[in-house]
Amino acid sequence: MIKAIEWKHNRLFIIDQTKLPGKLVKFECKTPQQVAEAIVNMKVRGAPAIGVVAAFGVYLGIKRPPLAKTFEQLLSQVEKLCAMLGKTRPTAVNLFWALDRMKRCAQNNRDHKLSTLRDILLREAMNIYKEDERVTKSIAGTGAELIRDGDTIMTHCNAGALATVGVGTALGIVVEAAHKHSGIKVLVGETRPRLQGARLTAWELKQARIPFHLITDNMAAHFMKKGMINVVIVGADRVAMNGDVANKIGTYGLAMLAYHHNIPFYVAAPVSTFDRNLLNGDLIPIEERDPAEVTMINDKPISVPGVKALNPAFDVTPHRYVSAIITELGIVRAPFDQNLKNLFANLL
Ligand code: MRU
């Protein structure tokens, strides 16, 4: 099974996703700064994976000399590390969720010896890791129930094992459905500008021996009109409490197309991807990335010299276009505001 992130012998290893599908290269992140660099440059990406790796980044920071000598010093180290790691990518709320957990964990364990507290923080990072394994498995199982024999599933970006530390969210469902049902086919949108669909989802599906076709992003409407797509499943970077969903740029267009063609549009998201402070998606910060990602492919310019480009990395799909959100706690449908309130009522 693909492991995007591994914690082995007290060391953090990451698959460099910028090198896929050409090369499978793992490298060690030794410092929190290296973790931050890996997130910014998308060597590690996908909302849950970013959260997990950032939690380990905090631990890497506090275990290096100069070691804190008092609880206050240690807490201040944790807070500074969280602030630094929190500046890497603004949209995926899993990052802030994981960093908040590390901060809370430090605050709640002030009575321990400092060496024990460091161990407790490592255990918290490992809990976040293990929870993601459990949660993604559960989402995959639940979501696969929504798929029927012979369905062609369209997906966008990469919400697979590479984007999590488990089986993935949206792509976890696709893989599980392909095992449970007969005749499942997949259409993979290439996902300009970073090509996560063409590079990463295609790589994962090939590893899993699941039949798929790669299409360019602008082909989706054509295939929907022809009746060649039965269901769309995507992941999410942040879900607001009214069910609005931030995900990879292009998701909103796909959702509207699916709505127009009466095709179910499902979002797979763990509880850690819900922003319980946000009432609607207009408030979700959208990451703007380097225009060079749009003007170049594989370091080669594709437009006129000096061309200006816009590069929002995510968009927000209004909840009316979402058929259901698949979580580890069950499937949520409209009215999302009420049903999400009920879903979270029993959680801390
Ligand atoms: O910019 P990326 O590659 O980090 O964007 C990833 C996505 O948009 C995924 O769909 C999302 O994070 C969910 S991953 C389970």
Question: Helix crossing, 47-62 with 71-86: angle to 10°?
Answer: 150
What is the predicted pLDDT for the residue at 347? 80
Q: What type of residue sits at position 306? A: G
Q: Are residues 128 and 189 in the same domain?
A: no
Q: Is the pLDDT of residue 30 over 90?
A: yes
Residue 342 and residue 338: Cα distance in Å, rounded?
Answer: 6
SS3 category, 77: helix
Instruction: Give the pLDDT confidence of 223-272 residue by residue, as tens digits.
Output: 999 999 999 999 999 999 999 999 999 999 999 999 999 999 999 999 99
Q: Are residues 33 and 151 in the same domain?
A: no
Instruction: Give the pLDDT confidence of 277-332 residue by residue, as tens digits.
Output: 999 999 999 999 999 999 999 899 999 999 999 999 999 999 999 999 999 999 99
Q: Are residues 249 and 310 in the same domain?
A: yes
Token pair in block for residue 61: 């920071």
**What's the CATH code of the domain at 192?**
3.40.50.10470
Closest C-alpha to 273, from 102, 98, 93: 93
Q: Which of 238, 248, 316 to mutate to test the pocket of ligand 1 (most atoms within 8 A of CB)?
A: 248
Per-residue pLDDT, averaged over 121-144, amounts to 98
94 CA from centroid of ligand 1 (Å): 11
Give the end of a domain, one of 137, 159, 181.
137
Residue closest via CA to ligand 1's atom 8 equals 248
Per-residue pLDDT, averaged over 6-16, amounts to 97
What is the predicted pLDDT for the residue at 304? 98
State the DSSP string of 283-309.
GS---B--THHHHEETTEE-S-TT---
- Give the helix, strand, coil percentages of the chain, each rounded to 5: 45, 15, 35
Q: Is 111 a catalytic residue?
A: no
What is the predicted pLDDT for the residue at 348? 64
Out of 151, 237, 244, 275, the active site residue is: 237
DSSP 67: P
Token pair in block for residue 117: 């507290």
Q: Is the pLDDT of residue 1 over 90?
A: no
- The percent of residues in the chain predicted with pLDDT above 70, rounded, is 100
**What's the CATH code of the domain at 87?**
1.20.120.420
Token pair in block for residue 314: 């995510």
Q: Are residues 131 and 184 in the same domain?
A: no
Is the beta carbon of 57 within 6 A of some atom in ligand 1? no
Residue 204 and residue 226: Cα distance in Å, rounded?
Answer: 27
Closest C-alpha to 158, from 124, 113, 131, 194: 194
Residue 150 and residue 189: Cα distance in Å, rounded?
Answer: 19
Q: Is the pLDDT of residue 61 over 70?
A: yes
Is the beta carbon of 343 within 6 A of some atom in ligand 1? no
Q: Are residues 322 and 206 in the same domain?
A: yes
Token pair in block for residue 111: 């009575």
- Split into its structural domains, the chain has a count of 2
Give the end of a domain, one of 102, 120, 137.
137
Token pair in block for residue 119: 């161990």
Q: Are residues 57 and 96 in the same domain?
A: yes
Residue 255 and residue 248: Cα distance in Å, rounded?
Answer: 12
Q: Are residues 84 and 162 in the same domain?
A: no
Instruction: Give the pLDDT confidence of 247-261 residue by residue, as tens digits.
Output: 999 999 999 999 999
Instruction: Give the pLDDT confidence of 93-110 residue by residue, as tens digits.
Output: 999 999 999 999 999 999
Q: What type of residue sits at position 19? A: K
Q: Are residues 167 and 73 in the same domain?
A: no
Give the end of a domain, one of 137, 166, 182.
137
Residue 180 and residue 141: Cα distance in Å, rounded?
Answer: 10
Q: Give helix then strand counts, H and E, for the chain.
A: 12, 15
Q: Are residues 213 and 290 in the same domain?
A: yes
Question: For residue 23, what are the domain limits?
Answer: 5-137
Q: Are residues 171 and 253 in the same domain?
A: yes
Q: Are residues 106 and 209 in the same domain?
A: no
Q: Are residues 128 and 247 in the same domain?
A: no
Closest C-alpha to 316, from 229, 231, 256: 256
Closest C-alpha to 163, from 249, 58, 213, 237: 237
- The percent of residues in the chain predicted with pLDDT above 90, rounded, is 98
On whether the pTM is more than 0.75, the answer is yes
What is the predicted pLDDT for the residue at 86? 98
343 CA from centroid of ligand 1 (Å): 23
Instruction: Give the pLDDT confidence of 133-172 residue by residue, as tens digits.
Output: 999 999 999 999 999 999 999 999 999 999 999 999 999 9
Instruction: Give the pLDDT confidence of 175-220 residue by residue, as tens digits.
Output: 999 999 999 999 999 999 999 999 999 999 999 999 999 999 999 9
